[in-house]
Amino acid sequence: MASWGAACIETEPLLAADTVVSPMSHDSPPVRRLADWDHERLEAVAAEHGTPLYVVDLDRVAENYERFAAAFPDAHVMYAAKAHTGQAVLSKLLETGADIECAAWGELQRAIDAGADPNTLQYTAVNPPDRDLDRAVELAAEHPGLTITGGARDTFDRLEERGYNGRVAIRINPGIGTGHHEKVATGKDAKFGIPYDEVPEVAADVRERFDLVGLHAHAGSGVLHDDLDDHCRAIGKVADMGREVIADGAELDFVDFGGGFGVPYREDVEPLDMEIVGEKVREAVGDLDAQVKLEPGRYVVADAECILTEVNTVKETPAATVVGVDASLATLIRPAMFGSYHPIRNVTAPEREAEPVSVGGPCCTSADVFCTDRPLARPERTDLLAIGNAGAYGYELANQFHSQPRPAEVAFEGGETRVVRERETLADVTRMER
């Protein structure tokens, strides 16, 4: 049996022949900290476009993708769109050479709008609504290269009911979950994928009805050093299942091991050494007569974006110094949803003496807090603060709680700055009401 590196070279190249990928800058660090952003440039865009404001560095997005792809030169690396579906981000990644994996119909459409060839897309929905499945089947009828992944027997039955007999992959539940929070440890959550021991039987059935081209799994998200061994153990189980299904007669184009590799949100945590990660993954996969696919999402975009927010209130209390800002859990919900740590920096005066403060927004809930008793260069009213690592699931989870319009998004690319998402107005918030 061939090694997975050799197998992928034989089946299909990583990039199309006419794709041009710029060489990755040797000055690109494995993680960008808030102190690495150009503070003068951040102050300038905040003054021009207001706050709260998302700022995405598209060059950093490309650098992160290229670093990941370089660590897996024989794999087919797809970007997991759910981390950030902004058109500017998707277009930049397509230009850089990435293909796109989509977890919902809307993501398929956004990828196509950004310039993706539908024949290169992979649709990995969980419990897809009827309307989404209808549209995916219609899209595949026109673009038979599209792959639809099913994680339940019902999904395959529903596809057959729609007359579909094209390319499918089976999502496996490896029974091992990893990541920064139990809510993202999908590899052990029954919601995701066919139970591991049932996969051979399901594969035999699916081969009779469809063109079974792959297996898929995703163990979790935000994997760093402590989770890496478990993550590779999950990869090894999925690879073992790939070999079993192939031995049973399936001719798989690929086995997709998902993404999940994290970036350090805390300043004292070191980034993953992707060369070492690549070696560990190759060891876990072993010989596999199919293309290996990987789907980084967070790794590509997390540290490429920050949020700018203005201080409007400083309140001394016996319990804490409370710093009020105009960003809220409607801007960035991850701290409220996952208890996530996001670095915060005083852009206006980083040299001031640090003191412990609690930073929160204008929402009428105690969950609207970005940090509690964290040392920060003493904020004063009208200071500009930056909240880091906002690129992954930041704007994607932004909402309109308290009738707050969602913020604008500005992109840095080279020396240019442009608005890539307009700030909503209250009229936008209420537009669909009757």
Catalytic center residues: 364
- Distance in angstroms (rounded) separating the CA atoms of residues 301 and 263: 10
> What is residue 142's DSSP assignment?
H
185 Cβ neighbours under 8 A, 6+ residues apart? 177, 178, 179, 219, 220
- Distance in angstroms (rounded) separating the CA atoms of residues 241 and 198: 11
- Within 10 angstroms of residue 150's Cβ, the number of other Cβ atoms is 27
Task: Compute the chain's Rg from CA coordinates.
Answer: 22
> What is residue 3's DSSP assignment?
B
Cα end-to-end distance, the chain, whole Å: 63
- Distance in angstroms (rounded) separating the CA atoms of residues 373 and 350: 17
295 annotated to bind ligand: yes
CA dihedral over 269, 274, 279, 281, signed as positive or negative: positive
Alpha helices in 210-322 (DSSP H): 225-247, 274-285, 298-301
- Distance in angstroms (rounded) separating the CA atoms of residues 220 and 298: 11
Residue with tokens 């209130």: 313
Q: How is residue 347 written in tokens?
A: 């852009």
Residues in a beta bridge with 335: none
Contact 81, 107 (CB under 8 A): yes
50 annotated to bind ligand: no
260 annotated to bind ligand: yes
- Distance in angstroms (rounded) separating the CA atoms of residues 212 and 205: 10
Indicate the burial class of 321 (C-beta count within 10 angstroms; 0-12, 13-18, 19 or more).
middle
- Distance in angstroms (rounded) separating the CA atoms of residues 135 and 156: 15
79 annotated to bind ligand: no
Contact 309, 51 (CB under 8 A): yes
123 annotated to bind ligand: no
Angle (CA) 5-80-368 rounded to 5° is 140
Contact 119, 140 (CB under 8 A): no
Angle (CA) 123-225-58 rounded to 5° is 50
393 annotated to bind ligand: yes
* Strand pairing class (99-102; 53-57): unpaired
**Binding-site sequence positions:** 260, 295-298, 334, 393
- Which positions make up the binding site for substrate? 298, 334, 393
- Known binding site for pyridoxal 5'-phosphate: residues? 260, 295-298, 393
